[in-house]
Amino acid sequence: MTTTTPRPIPDGVPERIRHYIGGELTDSADGAVFDVLDPVTNEVYVRAAAGKKADIYRAVAAARKAFTEGPWPKMLPRERSRVLNRVADVVESRDKRLAALESFDSGLPISQALGQARRAAENFRFFADLIVAQADDAYKVPGRQVNYVNRKPIGVAGLITPWNTPFMLESWKLAPALATGNTVVLKPAEFTPLSASLWAEIFEEAGLPPGVFNLVNGLGEDAGDALVKHPDVPLISFTGESSTGSLIFGNAAPFLKGLSMELGGKSPAIVFADADLETAIDATIFGVFSLNGERCTAGSRILVERAIYDEFVQRYAEQAKRVVVGDPSDPATEVGALVHPEHYDKVMKYIEIGKTEATLVAGGGRPDGFPTGNYVAPTVFADVKPDARIFQEEIFGPVVAITPFDSEQEALELANNTKYGLAAYVWTNDLKRAHNFAQSVEAGMVWLNSNNVRDLRTPFGGVKASGLGHEGGYRSIDFYTDQQAVHINLGEVHNPAFGKG
């Protein structure tokens, strides 16, 4: 297929994308806009309001007013839960429309975008249930003292989200922040503002009070920076690259803000000789090429025991060549177009670097039949040395590096030999080895003979340069609430009497 003409724009795309502040759609204070590109044609298909400091300040003021004067923080958990369940109902009822817009905006294959929309609904339903079931701690010393914990919403939460699977990742932050009674200002990624613009109508239909949810589009250095530095925003939850996370950490430090940051990754998948080889190949193919390779937990370094290395590389490369690249709107497509020409250029530069560092066994450039658009053929490098840039640096595209190892100790050293520590995948039929390796690998999450299926109750986050803090389940409740300890004497007050001689 050759894409040379503009694609039809899906139904539901607005004529322009605006901010949403205090329950109203609004333009930027200075009227500024930025272009949003179709990743298949790289043509401008809509323009979005470009928020700056003045717009962030308006949004924070609206969120602060809703927090201090509005009903949302004072509602019973069950009342907030009903609203969140209605949000989930609306998202589920519009899953196909959401998926179509997300796929068009981001280049994600439509079948995968549909799964992400449904996951977004589940995130809201999960936290709607969790906030009702939440039990506060109590500690008793019979006859002497009772101690209990109050959980209270903190205030205005600043949420900064990335361009990969944007709608689902926005839900991941919005659901717990709102469930716990906070108000929010969302700053979505500038590459993919379309699906974020749908939250306003979803929340209105679900009955969320005005001002509880606010959205400001814009560049990170403008809108994002102003949100991080605003003195009335005590919490920042950020998902994105590690270098941006470091900048946010520094800018938030003078205000002692609460921070939760899920950052970059270069996650290893370790395949031992006793693994089920076909299953391991299927899983590691999916683990790096799904979502166009634009996923933080991608297993982009595959470490393979030498006894099966040659067979693994041959079979892996052959299967990678059969991965279906196509128009994101085609249900048969397995890898679509990368999100933006800037990111496409970055990925292609890494592929050229890889050709000088390792052996190219599949892909290596633009796929046949796609002269335009941000298409990259699933690319496989073998015999990758641990000091190679494609081994050490996050590429965030459909590119994988395969490296052999001779011993379990060498595998562990290779797995831990990057600055990142988000996820790891271990494939072996030796149960003792699997558990011991998981304990030793430097990763916030480990999947044993499994591929990125996560229970929403478990913590999500990384170590080293891959993040700060964890969200998910009760960890999200902890992040978005203050925990106040209350102490009560039940017996005689133990009160040393100073000043009585």
Catalytic center residues: 262, 296
DSSP assigned state of 102: H
Question: Please, what is the end-to-end C-alpha distance for the chain in angstroms?
Answer: 94
DSSP string, 174-206: HHHHHHTT-EEEEE--TT--TGGGGHHHHHHHH
In angstroms, the CA 2 to CA 326 distance is 10
**Residue 121 is encoded by which pair of tokens?**
């609904």
**Is the CB of residue 354 less than 8 Å from the CB of residue 329?**
no
Which residues are paired to 402 by β-bridges? Answer: 302
Contacts of 454 (CB under 8 A, 6+ apart): 445, 460, 472
Distance (Å, rounded) from C-alpha 61 to C-alpha 1?
50
Cβ atoms 289, 298 nearer than 8 A:
no
**Token representation of residue 409:** 């100790």
CA distance 174 to 315: 42
Which letter, b or e, does each residue of 49-88 get, where b requires 16 or more Cβ atoms within 10 Å of its Cβ? bbbbbebbbbbbbbbbebbeebebbeeebeebbbbbbbbb
φ, ψ for residue 53 (rounded to 5)?
A: -55, -45
Tokens of 456: 């929403």
Q: Which positions ≥6 away from 224 have C-beta within 8 Å?
A: 160, 187, 218, 248
Question: Is residue 117 within 8 Å of residue 168, measured between CB atoms?
Answer: yes
Query: Would you state the structure tokens that stand for residue 229, as one six-digit string?
Result: 């530095």
**Could you tell me which residues are beta bridge partners of residue 399?**
379
